[in-house]
Amino acid sequence: MMPKVLLPLAQGCEEIEAVTIIDILRRAKIEVITAGLDAQPIRASRGVILLADMTLESALQQEFAMIVLPGGQPGTNNLKAETRLPALLQHMHAQGKYIAAICAAPSVLAMAGLLDNKQATSFPGALDAFELVKQQNQAIVEDGKIITSRSPGSAMDFALLLVERLAGKTTRDEVEAGLVRV
Q: Indicate which residues carry an active-site annotation.
A: 103
Q: Which residues is 71 bridged to in the sheet? A: none
- Return contacts of 140-144, CB within 8 angstroms, 24+ apart: 143/118, 143/119, 144/118
CA count, 13 A, side-chain hemisphere, 27: 21
Task: Compute CA 86 distance to the chain's CA centroid, rounded to the nearest angstrom.
Answer: 14
